[in-house]
Amino acid sequence: MNELLEVTNLTKSFQLHAGLFAQADQRVYALGGVDLTLRTGETYGLVGESGSGKTTLARTLVQLEAHERGTIRYLSSDGSAWEVRRGDRRNLERYRQEVRYVFQDPSSSLDPRMTVGDLLTIGARQRTRGKDRAGLVARAREGLDHVGLRASDWDRRPSEFSGGQRQRIALARALVTRPRLLICDEVVSALDVSVRGQILELLLDLKNRFGLSMVFIAHDLDVVAYMADRVGVLYGGRMMEEAPSRLLVEKPLHPYTKLLFDSAPGAGIRSRETSAQKLTPTRALTGCPFAPRCPLVIDRCRTEIPLPRAVGPQSGRLVACHRVEAE
């Protein structure tokens, strides 16, 4: 194994809240078997409308949610590979230092009652039982510098910062454990349009400086294409298409990707759609999840799940569609 992360057939469903009048065991199938490979040093982009399972995929990658089926294999920094599981606590702890999840909204992922200094160091302080405090503080301060915050921000609290600065704090926090992979879940969606660009540049800068790999999630295809080397398009918990970002932008093949491009940037497609909930299958899939909206739908799409197939020679493009011919 020489890929950083190898995800196969990742499956996750949620039980809908069992209220008094709720039907027993109603589920949403947020992930219906996703395959994904992440190479070392690569930025992998994930796009999809909201409700397509992007966050669920990211949270499963760091095991905030335990997956039901499938495997996540990780090639750790010492060259050993292991399977990421909830039960494997020792490895999981290390994995979570090397793979950091950056939340969408920094105002909820940073404890509002802590100072920046505490936020950056509390996790590591617990882990090291207070040893090497000075080294830790030095590293955290360095991190502040890397994300473009000032040393005097150390004693301030998140509420004293703007949204963009808060996201910088969140990034500094992620850097403290010297990660190899950042999973950035819509890290600019909660921010002002005016500061999005700066945060994206910062991400690119950090990636170069520390040689990070990255999973970059957004619902805006343009942003993802700008950031990522390869892009996966998610719909209804299934991967529709995966291709190097330049190829994808030049020539989208899957009908859903085309639709995404037509309606870019982002907002249009969602307003036409009723709600995110509708998009997530509530029954185990029997066909293509996109079939109900697909302009090219045929009977086969409803009865047979299209598997990702390589399309085009050596292009590295995978398309899961019955209607796209293998070239």
Partner 1 sequence: MNSLWRRLFRRPLAWGSLVVLVILYLAMSLCEFLAPYDPNHLFEGHSDLPPNLIWYSPQEGLGPQVQTVALVNGVTREYVRVRGEYTPVKFFVPTDPVKLWGVIPLPFHLFGTDYGRDPAGKAQPVFVMGTDNLGRDVFSRILYGSRISLTIGFVGVFISLGLALIFGGLAGYYGGIWDWIIMRLCEFIILIPGLYLILFLRSILSDHMDTGQSYMLITVILSFVGWPGTARMIRGMVHAVKRQDFVSNAQLESMPSLVILFRHIVPQMSSILILSVTLGVPGFILGETALSYLGLGIVDPAVSWGSMINRDATSVSNLLSFPWLFAPGIFLVIVTLAFNFLGELLRDWADPNWKETA
Ligand X SMILES: Nc1ncnc2c1ncn2[C@@H]1O[C@H](COP(=O)(O)OP(=O)(O)O)[C@@H](O)[C@H]1O
β-pairing, 318-319 vs 309-310, is antiparallel
Query: Site for partner 1 (CB under 8 A): which residue of 105, 222, 229, 273?
Result: 105
Query: Site for partner 1 (CB under 8 A): which residue of 23, 126, 208, 274?
Result: 126
Residues 173-192 that bind partner 1 (CB under 8 A): 173, 177
280 binds Mg ion (CB under 5 A): no
Residues 265-284 that bind ligand X (CB under 6 A): 276-277, 280
Number of residues engaging ligand X in binding (CB under 6 A): 14
158 binds partner 1 (CB under 8 A): yes
Strand order, beta sheet including 230-235: 99-102, 181-185, 213-217, 43-47, 230-235, 238-244, 318-319, 309-310
Query: Site for Mg ion (CB under 5 A): which residue of 55, 63, 165, 177?
Result: 55
Query: Site for partner 1 (CB under 8 A): which residue of 160, 192, 262, 327?
Result: 160
Compare residues 30 and 215 and give the one whose CB is closer to ligand X. 30
At 239, list the tokens. 């991967």
159 binds partner 1 (CB under 8 A): yes
Closest contact distance (angstroms) between CB of 4 and Mg ion is: 22
Closest contact distance (angstroms) between CB of 186 and Mg ion is: 6
167 binds Mg ion (CB under 5 A): no
Collapsing DSSP to helix, strand or coil, 240 comes out as strand
Q: What are the residues whose beta carbons fall under 8 Å from the beta carbon of 81, sequence distance 6 or more?
A: 1, 73, 74, 75
Compare residues 55 and 121 and give the one whose CB is closer to Mg ion. 55
DSSP letters spanning 169-227: HHHHHHHTT--SEEEEESTTTTS-HHHHHHHHHHHHHHHHHHT-EEEEE-S-HHHHHHH
Residues 3-42 that bind ligand X (CB under 6 A): 14, 28, 30
Given CA atoms 289, 66, 97, 176 in this order, what sign does their dihedral have? positive
Closest contact distance (angstroms) between CB of 180 and ligand X is: 23
Query: Site for partner 1 (CB under 8 A): which residue of 157, 258, 270, 323?
Result: 157
Q: Check residue 112 and give left, alpha or beta (phi > 0: left; psi -120 to 50: alpha).
A: alpha
At 158, list the tokens. 């998140």
Q: Check residue 241 and give left, alpha or beta (phi > 0: left; psi -120 to 50: alpha).
A: beta
143 binds ligand X (CB under 6 A): no
Residues of this chain that interact with partner 1 (CB under 8 A) are: 62, 64, 92-93, 96-97, 100-101, 103, 105, 108-113, 122-124, 126-127, 155, 157-160, 173, 177
